Every structure is written in C-alpha cells, then in structure tokens.
Chains A and B, each alone.
Chain A
Amino acid sequence: MKKYNLAILAASTLLFVVGCDTDYINDPDSPASAPSSQVFSNAQFDLAFELNDQWVAGRGTLQISQYWNSADYTDESRYALRTSMVDDMWEEPYRILSDLKKVIDLNTDSESAPLMLQYGSNSDQISIARILMAYTFSKLVDTFGDVPYWSYGQIDNPDFQALRLEEGVASPGYTDAATIYEDMLSELAEAANTIDASGTTMPTGDNIYGGDNAKWIKFAHSLRLRLASHILDVNPTLANAVFAQSDASAFTSNDDNALFMFGTTDIVGGPWHDAFTVSARRDFGPSLSFTDLLYNRVGPFTGAGMEDPRIESFFDKYVSPAPESIVADEVYGIPYGFGNSVARAVTNEGVPDAEIIKPDFSQPILTYAEIEFIRSEFNGWDQATYESGVTASMMYWGIDAAAITAYVATLPAASEETVLTQQYIGLYMDGLEAWNLYRRTGFPNTLTVPYDTFGDATFTTLVPGLDAIPSRVTYPQNEQLLNRTNWDAARSALTDGDAMTSKIFWDVD
C-alpha cells in the first residue's frame, strides 16, 4: 500500500516537473508594434508641447529672450534655471527623437515595413521623420552645444552614438556641434529630395501638415534656411550655398507655416492652458523690454508713427477683479532682471493673450515670416522680403490689412537692426529661436542686460561668473553622474567649461 502511494506520488511529481515550465506572459495593455502614424502623432504632440511648456519655455527660453518675465519668483529670469528645467530641455528632445526613430524603424524593419505602407510609402515616412529629427536635434545643439547625435543618413557612423541603446550604447559620446549642423543640413536636403511631392504620408497622425508631402518639402528647405542663418558668421560659404539651394523651395506664404494646434480639453490642451487654467497660476507676464519695444519707446522704430498693433495679439491688458473689472490703459510689462521686489511692485501687468492661454492654442514651429527675414538677411537686408516678413507676421497674429499697411508704411528701411528686430518680434512664442538670434547677431539691442539699472535696482545674474545674457545652458546633472567620461570630454571642448558663458560654435564675434 505504502509503496503504491509513493509510486503515484513520484509519478505525479515527475509529471508536474515536466510541465513546470511556464511561458512568458505578455503585457496585455501594450502593443509590440503600432501604426507609424500613431507614433508620429505622439512625437509631434510632444515636440509642440514639451519644448514649449511652462518649464522649458515659460521659465526658460521665453524669459531668456525677454518676451515674458516672472511675476513673483524671478530667479529663473536671472538665469538660475532649475535643474529640472535643464533636465527637460535635454530629456524631452531625446524622448521625441526616440519616437521619430521608431517611425523610421517601423519602415525599415522587414517585418513591419509592409504593414506601414497603408500610411504612405516607407521612403516618405522615413524622410518626414528625418526632417523632424533634424528640427529636434537643432534644439539640442542650440541649447547645449555638442550633444550625442544620430542620423539615418549616417546610420553606420560610429561617432554618432545617440539613440543606440538597443545596440548596447549605454554611455553615448558627444558629437561636435558643427559636424551635427553639417549633417542636419544634408539630412534635410536628402529627405526633401526623396519625398514624392504629390504623395500623402501619415495623414491622421500629422497634425502639422495633414500628411501633405509638398508642405514637408517646403518645411525641410525652410529649416535649412534657418540653420544656414545660424552659421552665417562662422561658415559663410556653407551658409550661402545652402541658401542658394533652398531659397526657391522654402515657404512662400503663411499657408506654409508649420503650426501645431492643441486640442480643446485638459488632456490634450496646450501648455499655457495647463499653466494658467489647470494649475491656475499667473506666474508670467510680459517683459518690460518687450512691451517698450512694441510701444516704440525703445529700439529702431521709435520714430515710427504708430505702436506695433501686434502687442494686443501678444498680450491682454490687466483687468482688475470683479466687480470693478477695470481694464488697464495699456499692456504693462515687468522690468526684467531686477529681482523679486521690482517684479512684485508691478501689480497690473498684462497676461499672455487669451488666444495663447486657450486650450487649442497653435504653437508656431517654423513660420513664413521668419523665412522672409532670413531671405532679407542673405540678400543684403533686402527691403521687399523685410516688408513681406512684417506683413506675414502681422497677418499671422490677426492684424487687419489696413493697420498692416499703415504700420509697414511707417517702418524705417531695412537694415541689420530693423530686419533682425522685426524678426525678433515675429518670433514671439518661439523663445529659443529668438535667443539664437540674439546670441548670433546681438539684436534686438533692446533687451535688458546685466548691470542695467532700474530705479535703485541693478540687474545682476544669480549665476556666479555670468555677467551677460547666457550663451548656453549647462548640461544636465545626470550627464555628469551617469555619462561622466563623455561629459568630461564635452566640457573640455567648451571655451569656459560646462558653464552658461561658453559659446555655441556658431556664436562668433
């Protein structure tokens, strides 16, 4: 009896052991693959939101470019950027790039590529992803300098070490910024040249151009003009060559503008709805240096007969609390750089316009007006493109035709100062590009700079050793802690080490 039982037990145990193995259980909520258009949609959304939210832009680039200022806590406007802001400036672009590279992977992998054909040709999807990758990498380079880089065109280049964790690159080396610029320019040219101009690509996931290939070609050429303008001083030969190649194919009207319109709910609404309505904080108002420029109190347009009508599209005037609800007589700005007491003394500052704060705000990615100003610059401060740039910007901001004509008529002639100052005004809501313009050219010369005074107050920065508008943002702390060897190499290549005073390669003279 006992032996019999033992035998059964032994047999059943053995049976169990044989059947003991278990299969890996897959995540039921997450797909192994997905339509490229859905990944692309996410990349675009993040590109529009994360690079322009209240941290990266609100306390960062929109302030450094002095469009906005902080109403109460002004540390960041004196360049004491929070470590988390710096992290966002670095991390968000790479997250977006990771999605864009996924779009490329889905279209190159032999298993998934045929499945992606329903969203457009594989080649066109790859090209459009490459264009937005170049756009995103340019944000990184213009903010930090040398960064880890990757491109589809040089997929085998061992020095391009970003986005290669799947291949085992856990500590990516940095690529020289000038090399990245050259490669981005050729990426854009290759992509533009291979896209089928009559095709449609990922239309449901493309909330910038609705899948219109022809628009993406124009975008690629326009971005080439922007990048060419950045390197005009440091590499005029290349810059002029790029201009000659792409000028004719770039934006020709506001219809070509690359804009991203957010949704109407809290979930997919824009960043300013998030900051001003959901978080219900009024942290930001106009910088006095910007309102003074628009009211023609400083700068090259002081002689013009009328104020810039865009000021009321950029900002709303202060309204006192109900029941009085008295509207201020103008858009008051907050003096920039003079610290908390000076900022807090202004209690009737304007607020970003209702069109900006609403959920379905359109974030400009790249606009025709900017391209016209670049054309004017490359053509020796050409008057016609200067005027059409101002006109395009005003139309974009909803100024009526009569007012535009009247304003353009009062403008002083095109010159370095007038063109670049108008370009600065036209770049409103693209703080990084405005800061690029200032670093590269020194215009607008109306910004408040360290050691300027306001009453008893003096503009001092909160960054030891920094006594000018910053030249760059320092690398995030995690690079120092987790990618030390490569960070060490990158900082020793900088003129002042990993500091805000070190200059980006295109920032010469």
Chain B
Amino acid sequence: MNLNQKLSDKVTFVGTMNYVHTDGIRPVIGYDGNSVTQKFFQWGQRQLDYDILKDYKNEDGSQRTWNRSAYNDATPKYSDNPYWTAYDNNPTDTRNRVYGSASFNYQITEAFGVKLSAYGDTYNFKNTEKISIGSQSQSMYTERAYDFKEYNYEFVANYNKDITDYFNLKALAGINQRDYQLDYRKNETTGGLTLPGIFNINNGKGPLDQDTYTDFKKVNSVFASLNLGLANQVFIDLTARNDWSSTLPDDNNSYFYPSASLAWVFSEIIPDTSWFNYGKLRANWAEVGNDADPYKVISTLTLDTPFNGEGRVTVPNTLLNAELKNETTRTWELGAELSFLKNRVNLDVTYYNNSTIDQIIPVDLSYGTGYGAQWINAGEMTNKGIEVQIGLKPIKTENFSWEIDVNYAKNENELVSLREGLESINLTSAPFQVQLLATVGQPYGTIMGSDFIYDDAGNKVIDAGTGMYAATQDLVPLGSVQPDYTAGIRNSLNYKNIDLTFLVEMSKGGQYFSTSHMWGMYSGMLEETAANNIREDGIVLNGVTGTITYDDNGNYTVTDTAENTTNISGQDYGNMHYGGFGTPDAQNVFDSDFFKLRELALGYTFKNDFLKIFDSARISVFGRNMFTWGLDYDGIDPETVSTGSGNIQGLEGGLQPSTRSYGMNLKLSF
C-alpha cells in the first residue's frame, strides 16, 4: 500500500505499508528424535518397506511402528514410524510481518531539501512443536512466540546540484534513532497430554514449563555523505557515521566509521576502438562499526524455575564483560570492469580484503573458570579473496548464438590474532565426535578429532588386539571446512527457435565430518557395511600392525611393523567408524569437492505467425540439480553440509538431502 501526497509545492508526504504472511510445516533435521533424516541415515533399517510403513496408524489411533518394544509389545521402542513423525509430530510456524514508513519531504530550494521519516518493521513469529499421544516419548505440545518491533526515526538534509555539466555534487547529513524490541514467550506442556489430537497449551497434565525474555536496544546515529561526479568518468563517494549504542558500556558506547570510494570510467578518455569498449576501475575502503547484542555488559544472574516454594537463581553459563567495546569491520576492495570486442568479451574482477577487529563473540573457555564462555572482543579475523566473472559471446549470428558465463571465487578466512591468554575459539561441536576450531594462524574452521596413525612408509597402523585402525591420542586437525575455490560455467545456445542452457558448478578443496556416515556405518545403514560379502567373510583392513610409542608431547613413533592379518567381522568394521572406541574420527572426514550439473533447460519459442493471438509463446523443460559427481564419498552431497547456517558448515549430521527437480514451463504473452 502506498500513499504519495503533494501537500504543497514544496512539501510531499509519502507513506507505505506492507503486510506479509507466511506459514509452513518444516521438518525437524539434525540429531533429534523427531528428525526423519536422522532415522533415514543413522538409526533405521534398510529393509523397511515404506509402502507398508505408510499405513502408520491403527484404527484406534495408536501407532504402527517397525521398532516394536518386544514381540508382544507394539509400543515404539526408540523410533517412531517416519510417517507418524511427518504427519502427527510435525512442527508448524506462522509469521505475520507489517512494515512501512511515513516521511515528509520539504524541498526548500531546487537543490536543498530536508526529510523527516519514520520507518517501522514489526513481525510476530509463532512456532509449535508437538509429540502426539502414542509416540515413542511422552506426548507434549510447545508454543513459542516472538514479537519483534523496530522503529527508525530519521532526519536528513540533502543538497543535490549539477554545478557544471562536468561536475555534480550530492551531499547529505542526517540523524537517526533506532529502537529495537524483541519479546519471547514459550509455553510447553509437561506430564503428557490429556486428550489425543488436541494441541492446546491447556491440554497438558502437569504445570506449564515457561520461558520469557525481552531484548531492548537503542542506537542513535549521526551521518553524512558526499558524492562527487566529474565529467561522467570519475565518481567519489565519502561517508562518515557515528553511532551511540545502548548495548555497550556507558563510557565507551560511541564509535565512528568512515568510508571512501573511487570509481573511474577510464574508457571515457580512450578513443573508441572496436576491440576495447568499456573500462572502469573501482577502489573502496570502508569501516563499519558494530555494537553487541543486548545485555552483554553488566553481569546479572539468571532465573530458573522455582522449587519447593522458593525461587531459584543461577550464575549464567557465559560471563558478561564490562570492558566490551564495539567491533569494527575494515574492508578494502579493488575492482575492474572491462569490455572488449564489441562487448563480446566482458570481464569483472574484484579483490577484497576484509578484517574484523575486536569481534564480539562468546568465546568458550575451560569450565574450570566457573563459566563455559565469556563475551569478549576476540581479536582479528580476516576474510580475503578474489571474484572473477567472465562473459563471452563467441558466436552471434542471426540464427545462432552461443554465450558462456564463467565465474570463479576464492576466499580465505583466517584468525589472525586472539585476545591474550587464549589460543583457540571452539566454533562448535558435532553431537558426538569432533569439534570445529579456529586457531590463531590457521584457517577458520578446522575439524579437530583423532586421526589415523601412520608408519614411516605411510601405511595406516592397525591395533593388533582389535584388528581395527589405531588412532592418535590427541585431537589433531583433520581438515579445513573452507573450500579453496568455487567456480561455475554457464553455456547458453540459441538456434532459431530453440534455446539450450546448462550450468555446471564446482567446489574444490575443504573437508567435512559426517555424523551420518559414522552412525550409518555403526548401525549398518550404509551399503559399505554389507558390500563384498563383508557380513559373511569379515574383512582384513589394509595396513600394518606395530608398536606405537608416545613421547611427552604426544608425538608418536611406530616400530616393529608387520602386515595386518587380523580378520574382523562386518559388524566390527561398521562399529569402528565411531571414534568413541578409540578409532580414528578421520574415517568420517571427506573432501568437500564436487561438480554439479546445476541447471539444464531446453526451450522453444513460437514465432508470432504460429498463433496470432499471442505476442509470444515459449515452452521449456528444465531440470535443477541434475547430477553430482567427483565426490570423495558418494553417499552425501557435500553441498548440503554447508546449507547449515553459521558455524556448522563442515559438520554433517542428518541434514535434508538435496533434491533433484524437473519441470516444464509455458510462457504466453498477449
């Protein structure tokens, strides 16, 4: 909804209002009792007939599961029927968002104006979780509600003038106040549900388990910018901003950050030639200041539920920090855009170097400190890389054209320094084995776990007693989750009415740890636990036996090596993939390399004379995510590993597999 009202010659009012409603049923993923993918990959049965499982409910409403407690007891032991999970234990979510703005613009002179605005963004997000009566675990219903509000009040003065034909100037100065509020409420039933099929917070047998918090934040800002344009070929942008945040200590809550950028269309001064058409160079330098999340400065205690008529209060797990200051991201970037040969060769190259200084994070600590973590200004992290895009049009005739688009990106993320007294940041831990670490001087996101032991000749060493691989005592780096580079190539071919497009993408370098592989091998879900008659014949692992001796620093030497001859059972072979048995976690670490036929589309465009009633008509068939190849381990698409948000990149565990999709498209214009 938009309203644009001219109140007088010089005053305009603009108002906008938007409403967005989304809702969904999203499956639970990861390591969770209600995660169907966990059951598919890790703890299930391969011989299950899903057509039979589909009939998942008895007439009395009770569940039919394959995982009975006993021959004479049909209640689920560990696993619900996946159809029961999908249809009866599904989470839901709903979001209603309203956002809009109102502003008065007073154009005092042609060049000079002021604008007073208010922006509002609010949403209500509600999600529910349920465990129906008849599920494996006690029935339950949970409702969570998030009420979010953000208002910005802004006053801006701007000056915009073409001083000469070759020199134009835009200047802007303003002030802003941002108010942010998030209210969270959770209600969960306890003691099980009373009535089947009713998911209401009053349907629980016990008292409600409740939780609530409110986040407030206020940021005041002053900002200015200056844009200069010279002769349509040199553009200079300068900005400056100062923020005052309510989430930083009172005496250190102000931070200033400027930026500058220069662009030069140098082709303007080169005479037009047929081989060189356009050239632009860019250079940017910018700083961005950031404050903390709310309530990370002044230490408080945390309320727990009351017990025996008395409240309970605890020291929080993460210590706050009265010395916290803002973090700063400093970026500089160089780029060039070039076009050659009548725009048939286009090149866009960017180099960037970002560095985050005093990054505000909760850094994990030894619990011997009394805390699991502390909010700190961590140190410096850099992120640098290069991005290249090449566009080629090798053939362009009346009937036939061929276009190639290539892109390439390389990024390096490194922890450069960390606050004194700390060596590493524990980014996250996989649910059973391995952790993701950032260590000074190493790539950000190193998988730490136990590795194979190798003799001097490079053979894997096998424990003579168990016949299984021996593992290092200490946790060692098993790989980095960052790829070396990613690239893609798109070919578009057009012949008369027919067009064909295919996009191939690839990623090279980087590793991931797979919890699904670990438990899938352990539980016998994966093909390798049955292939080559391993269940009947067992297996002799390829490697050597030997004596492993450690020095005081944990370094080992292997002596008295001999060829391994111990046959282990198929079950032991599968089991040993769980590093909890002192076997190497490295067994479940794989390279993340992949090639993908991301997109394939074939289309036909009907000419006007075919059907007179349409301006144009086009029919196409397409497929997405068609093929994946070049994998280190064929059972898992490495790309799904990094679909996890934030730091869990590189740790796979019951994620949703990627899907291949096909479709047909008919486009008609009248």
Contacts and interface: CB of A to CB of B under 8 A. Distances in A.
Bound pair (A, B):
yes
Interface of A: 2, 5, 9, 12-13, 16-17, 20-35, 37-39, 41-43, 45-46, 75, 80-84, 90-91, 94-95, 97-99, 101-102, 147-148, 161-166, 168-172, 174, 204-205, 207, 263, 265-268, 277-282, 320-321, 324, 347, 462-465, 476-484, 486, 488, 492, 497-499
Interface string B410-424: 000000000001111
A279 B138 contact: yes
A25 B582 contact: no
A282 B213 CA distance: 36
Interface in B602-628: none
Q: Which 4 A-B pairs have the closest CB atoms?
A: A148-B368, A266-B190, A30-B300, A98-B370
Interface stretch (B96-104, B214-222, B651-659): B214-222
A148 B366 contact: yes
Contact of A480 (B247, B470, B474): B474
Contacts of B254: 20-21
Contacts of A5: 108, 112, 114
25 contacts: A17-B175, A20-B254, A22-B253, A25-B294, A33-B301, A39-B314, A42-B314, A43-B314, A95-B317, A95-B367, A101-B370, A102-B301, A163-B370, A165-B319, A165-B374, A169-B369, A170-B369, A170-B374, A207-B308, A265-B207, A278-B138, A463-B582, A464-B471, A482-B422, A486-B366
A281 B220 contact: no
B190 A478 contact: no
Interface stretch (B70-78, B272-280, B344-352, B398-406): B70-78
A30 B370 contact: no
Nearest to A105: B315
A162 B73 CA distance: 51
Given A30-B301, A481-B437, A2 B112 contact: yes
B369 A163 contact: yes
Contacts of B394: none
A207 B307 contact: yes
B331 interface: no
Interface in B296-313: 297-305, 307-313
B440 to A, nearest CB: 12
Contacts of A205: 310
A259 B316 CA distance: 26
Contacts of A281: 78, 137
Contacts of A204: 308-310
A94 B206 contact: no
B303 A37 contact: no
Contact of A26 (B78, B298, B437): B298
A99 B314 contact: yes
Contacts of A17: 175, 222
Contact of A13 (B173, B317, B368): B173
Nearest to B72: A321
Contacts, number: 275
Contacts of B72: 320-321, 324
B175 A13 contact: yes
Contacts of A465: 582
Contact of B138 (A20, A28, A45, A280): A280
A24 B315 contact: no
Nearest to A161: B368
Nearest to A206: B310
Indicate the size class of the contact surface on chain B.
35 or more
Contact of A98 (B191, B242, B315, B421): B315
A147 B368 contact: yes
Given A29-B213, A163-B369, A280-B137, A34 B313 contact: yes
Contacts of B423: 482, 484
Contacts of A98: 315, 370-371
A102 B370 CA distance: 10
B367 A91 contact: yes
B422 A266 contact: no
A268 B307 contact: yes
Contacts of A282: 69
A26 B369 contact: no
B157 interface: yes
A170 B246 contact: no
B365 interface: yes
Contacts of A21: 220, 244, 253-254
B143 interface: no
B295 A27 contact: yes
Given A25-B218, A464-B582, A477-B475, A31 B301 contact: yes
B374 to A, nearest CB: 6
Contact of A165 (B248, B370, B581): B370
Contacts of A97: 370
Nearest to B294: A25
B433 interface: yes
B661 interface: no
B92 to A, nearest CB: 22
A265 B190 contact: yes
A148 B581 CA distance: 28
A476 B465 CA distance: 26
Given A28-B214, A280-B138, A482 B366 contact: yes
A39 B301 CA distance: 9
A82 B580 contact: yes
B372 interface: yes
A486 B366 CA distance: 10
Contacts of A2: 108-109, 112
Contacts of A172: 366, 368-369
Nearest to A30: B300
B222 A13 contact: yes
A75 B250 CA distance: 53
Contacts of A170: 365-366, 369, 374, 421-422
A166 B319 contact: yes
A30 B303 contact: yes
B209 interface: yes
Contacts of B73: 321
A273 to B, nearest CB: 10
